Amino acid sequence: MNTNYNYKNRIESNPDIMLGKPVIKGTRITLEFILRKLSEGLSIDEILLAYPNLTKDDVMASLSYSADVIGEEELIAS
């Protein structure tokens, strides 16, 4: 687990919200959505401008959470 950033206070997963996908607490904005916007080339500032209820810390928590999830995955040789 990443010890540099505590995202537990910013991210939640609830089966009643967005089918249980991880979201920023208090929103219906999924981490997947944030990551896709970043991968499309939007800057953090552009995302924050388009979604003013998000903060930079929310975006950074999304990245940190995603890195930790990927870091816990086991690769299966194919």
**By the 8 A CB rule, do 64 and 5 touch?**
yes
Q: Kindly tell me if the per-residue pLDDT of 3 is higher than 50.
A: no
* Confidence (pLDDT) at 1: 43
How many angstroms separate the CA atoms of 61 and 36, rounded?
15
- Rounded to 10 deg, the angle between the 31-39 and 56-72 helix axes is 100
pLDDT digits (tens, 9 = 90+) for 23-57: 999 999 999 999 999 999 999 999 999 999 999 99
In eight-state DSSP terms, residue 30 is B
**Which pTM does this prediction carry?**
0.84
Residue 45's CATH number: 1.10.10.10
Domain residues for the domain of 57 are 11-72
Query: What average pLDDT score do residues 4-20 get?
Result: 88
pLDDT beyond 80 at 75: no
Confidence of residue 2 (pLDDT cuts 50, 70, 90): very low
Residue 6 lies in a domain: no
Query: How many domains is the chain built from?
Result: 1
